[in-house]
Chains A and B, each alone.
Chain A
Amino acid sequence: MNINEIIDILSYPFMIRAIIVGILVSFCAALLGVILVLKRYALIGHGLSDVGFAALSLATAIGVSPIYIATPIVIFASFIIMYISQSKKINGDIAIGIFSTGALSFGVIITAFSRGFNMDVYSYMFGSILAMNRTDLFVSLFLSVIVIFVFILFYNRLFIISSDENFARAIGINIRFYQFLISLLTAVTVAVGMRMMGTLLISSLIIFPAFIAKKLVRSFKYLVILSALFSIFCFVFGLIASLIFDLPTGAGIVLVNIIVLFLCSVINYLLCIRKVEP
C-alpha cells in the first residue's frame, strides 16, 4: 500500500469519524490514565472493558445500539468496583479480577445463547475502525468535552489526591467524591472507546501513555501534557500501521505503544548513565 492509497483511505467519511473519535478518546484516556496509573488503579479500565464486553454482547443479543446499553452498565460497574476497592476487607485488584472474569464469562454465555461466536463479537474484542457511526461520533464528542472540562477544572485537586491522599483528607478534601468522579469519567471513556480499540485492549490507552511519559518527566504538569501527546501520536501511527498491515485497529495501536515504550526506556536508561558519569 503506497502513501496515496493511505491518504485516499484516510479521507473516507468513516475514517474521518474514526480518527476524530480516536483522538478524543485517546486524549481523555491519557488524562485519566495519569491519575489511575499514579494511584495504582490502572486495571480499573481493564475490568470495566470486560464489563463493557458483557454489555455489548447483551446489546447485540437484544438488538439495541450498543452505546446506549454499554455506557450506563459500565458506569454502574465502575461505581461498584470503586466502592468495593474502598473496603479494607477486599483488595482493589481482587475486586477488579472478580468483576472482569465474571463479566467476560457472562458476555460469552449470552453470545453462546444468542447467535454463537460471530464476527461482531470478534470485532468488539479486538477493535474495528468500522464500528463508528454518526451517533457514536456526536456522543463521544460530547462525552470527551465533559471529561476534558472536568479534568482541567479539578486538575489541582486531582494532583493533591494522587500525590498524598492522607494530606488531602486532612485539609478537608472529599476524597471519595473525586474517586467516584474519576471512575465515572473512566467508565465513560471506556464505553466510548471500546468499540474501536476492542474491549480487551482499551485499557492500554489508559496505562501506556502515562507509564511512558513517567519515564521522561520530573513534574506532574509535563506528565499530563506528554502522556496526552504520546497517546495521540500512538493512536495516529497505530491506525496507519493497522491499515498498512491489515491488523485490527486496537492491536495496531498497542503495538505502536509498545515500540514507543521500548524507545523511551532506552532513552531513559541512556540519560541515567550520562547523569551518573561525572
Chain B
Amino acid sequence: MCLINIKELNVTYRVGYKTIFVLKDINLDVKSGEYVCIIGNNGAGKSTLIKAILGLEPIFRGEIKINCSKNDISYLPQNNGISLDFPATVEELVLSGTQSTSNKFKIPFYNKKNKIQAGIAMDKAGIKSLAKRRFGELSGGQQQRALFARAIVKCPKILILDEPCTGLDHDTAENFYELLSCVNSSDKTTIIMISHDLSAVKKFASKVVILNGELKFCGSVAEWEKYNFCACGGNL
C-alpha cells in the first residue's frame, strides 16, 4: 500500500525579492513497511523534504498525500531539539510522545495505557533503567535512545528521522541502526531517514533517494550501487 504520495512537489524560500527553489518537481512514493534513506549534500533539500512531509514547511506547488492520520506519524529531530539544561526526566519526555491530537476535545492528560506504552518504548530502546534520570545528564547515545523511545511510543505507522546518528561514535550508531531495523521489521513501521552514513544505508535501506534540489535517484540498494558505478564511469 502506498503510504506517502508526493507529486510535483516544489518548496521555495524567499530571499529579499528572489524566490529560490529548494526542492523542484519531486515525485516520490513510499510504500508501507519500506525503509527509505534520503542522502545528498548539504543544502540538497533533505531536511526541507521531510519537513514538508511533516507539515512544518509550506509547499509552493504540488501535493503530498499521506494515507494515514497525522497521529500515526512520528518524528525524531536532529539531536539539538532539546536544550541540555531543560529539566525533564527521560520518563516525562517519553510520555510526552503519547500525546495525540486526533480528538480536539479530549483533555491532554496521560492515562494508564500511556504509561504502559512509555514503559514498553523505553524497554525497546534499552533505557528503562534511566527513566528517572534527567535528560541533560545522559550521554549522547543515551539521549538519542530516549528521543527514539519518545518517537516510537505511539507505535507510529511512519517514523521520520533527521540524521539520527550525527555526533555518535561508530558502535553507538551501529547499535542505533540495529534498533531502528528491528522496529522496521517487527512492528512494520515505515521509516524515512536522512543519513550521511552510506555503509548503514547499504546495510539497512530498502529504498535509496538521492536529492540535489531535484530527485537525482530513487531505487533499491542494488540499483543505487549500479547507479554509483555508472556515475563514476566504472572506476569504483
Contact = CB atoms under 8 A, between A and B. Distances in A.
Interface of A: 38, 153-157, 159-160, 162-164, 166-167, 169-174, 214, 217-223
B107 A153 contact: yes
Across the A-B interface, give the 8 residue pairs with the lowest CB-CB distance, nearest first.
Answer: A218-B134, A170-B75, A172-B101, A172-B70, A219-B89, A160-B96, A164-B81, A170-B54
A162 B93 CA distance: 11
B93 to A, nearest CB: 7
Nearest to A157: B108
A173 B101 contact: yes
B92 interface: yes
A220 B85 contact: no
Interface of B: 54-56, 70-71, 73-75, 77, 81-83, 85-89, 92-93, 96-97, 99-101, 107-110, 132-134, 137, 150, 160
A218 B70 contact: no
Nearest to A34: B87
Contacts of B55: 169-170, 172
Among B101, B110, B160, the most chain A Cβ lie within 10 Å of the Cβ of: B101
A163 B71 contact: no
Contacts of B86: 38, 162-163
Contact of B101 (A38, A154, A163, A171): A171
A252 B160 CA distance: 52
Nearest to B93: A163
A212 to B, nearest CB: 12
Contact of B134 (A167, A172, A219): A219
Nearest to A222: B87
A120 B75 CA distance: 54
Contact of A166 (B70, B71, B81): B81
Given A171-B71, A218-B87, A156 B110 contact: yes
27 contacts: A153-B107, A154-B108, A156-B109, A157-B99, A157-B108, A159-B88, A160-B96, A163-B82, A163-B86, A163-B93, A164-B82, A166-B77, A167-B81, A167-B150, A171-B74, A171-B97, A172-B71, A173-B99, A214-B85, A217-B87, A218-B89, A218-B134, A219-B87, A219-B89, A220-B87, A220-B88, A221-B92
A25 to B, nearest CB: 24
A173 B82 CA distance: 17
A163 to B, nearest CB: 6
Nearest to B50: A170
Nearest to B85: A214
Contacts of B99: 156-157, 160, 171, 173
A64 to B, nearest CB: 39
Nearest to B134: A218
B108 A171 contact: no
A162 B97 CA distance: 13
A218 B70 CA distance: 31
A157 B104 CA distance: 12
Contacts of A153: 107
A222 B89 CA distance: 10
B77 A164 contact: yes
Given A156-B110, A163-B82, A167-B77, A219 B56 contact: no
Contacts of A174: 101
A170 B150 CA distance: 13
Contacts of A162: 86
Contacts of A166: 56, 75, 77, 81
Given A157-B108, A214-B85, 16 more contacts: A38-B86, A156-B109, A162-B86, A163-B82, A163-B93, A166-B77, A167-B77, A169-B54, A170-B73, A170-B75, A171-B71, A171-B75, A171-B99, A220-B88, A220-B89, A220-B92
A170 B86 CA distance: 20
